[in-house]
Amino acid sequence: MRYEIKGETTPILEIELEKGEEILSEPGRMIYKEPTIKMVTKAEGGMLSSLKRSFSGESFFLTEFSAESNGLVHFAPKIPGAIRRIDVEEDSSILAQEDAIICSINGNIDVGFNSDIAGGFLGGEGFKFTKIDGPETAFIEAGGEIQKFELEKGQKLEIDTGCLVAYEENVKVSAEKVGGLKNSLFGGEGLFLTTAEGPGEVWVQSMSVSELALELDSHVPGN
């Protein structure tokens, strides 16, 4: 399998599959493909796995693309932003925002939860995530630009609401109150920030879907 991410503001993920190779994606992510790539919609992993994916905010069904001979298939994110490849090692897991997964090689997609349920709600990330179990290679999307941080043990990163895209399962994610009355009321960041504490890797986006929606809504006549 070969891949290339083309473009920046609204990128396209191009994947070249060799004969016999296959990849799984969320329905509706493919934008075009060559005739040698066959497409089949299926409940990957059986009924239980499909139900768990549906509960996590992902689709009940996955679309399988398989190559009868070498060919190209192309995917795109739902909003302007970035696409990144994530390689998850065996016996490791990554938790990602709902709808962040574009496609994966093995389909190891499950439901994951933030152990700090209250902190997840207060920090704006929620407590329910899409879990990617290794070994797996997956492609994720993010709003705006995306940056990866490698946190040492005990190292913390304070993140704006909705900007945490994905993180390794061993990273502790919670919410911390914004200090100072003026900061809380007039700082524009809300009452809480999401805090990620290492060790582990964290992926952060520069623009959340909710922020984009609010900004667009403010320009709609009559609002």
138 is a domain residue: yes
Q: What is the CATH number of the domain that holds 177?
A: 3.60.160.10
pLDDT score for 2:
94
- Has residue 222 been placed in a domain? no
Q: Which residues pair with 181 in a beta bridge?
A: none
DSSP, collapsed to helix, strand or coil, labels residue 118 as helix
**Residue 94: domain span:** 2-217
Gap between the Cα atoms of 35 and 48, Å rounded: 32
For every residue of 150-168, DSSP letters joined together read: EEPTT-EEEE-TT-EEEEE
User: In the chain, what percentage of residues exceed pLDDT 90?
Assistant: 47
Taking only Cα atoms into account, the Rg of the chain, rounded to an integer number of angstroms, comes to 18
- Does any domain span residue 51? yes
Domain-embedded: residue 26 = yes
Mean pLDDT of the residues in the chain: 82
Higher pLDDT pick, 210 / 205:
205
**Does residue 182 have a pLDDT over 50?**
no
195 HSE (CA, 13 A, CB side): 14
Q: Residue 202 domain-assigned?
A: yes
Q: How many domains does the chain have?
A: 1
> What type of residue is 51?
L
Joined tokens for residue 171: 């990273």
Supply 219's token pair: 């320009």
Dihedrals phi, psi of 207, to nearest 5 degrees: -145, 120
Decide if 148 is inside a domain. Answer: yes
* 99 — pLDDT class (breaks 50, 70, 90): confident
- The CA distance from 223 to 217, in Å, is 7
> What pLDDT shows up at residue 161?
81
Q: Is residue 89 part of a domain?
A: yes
| 81 falls within a domain | yes
Q: What is the pLDDT of residues 38-70, one digit of tens each?
A: 999 877 655 566 566 566 556 667 899 999 999
More confident position, 83 or 192: 83
Q: Is the pLDDT of residue 147 over 80?
A: yes
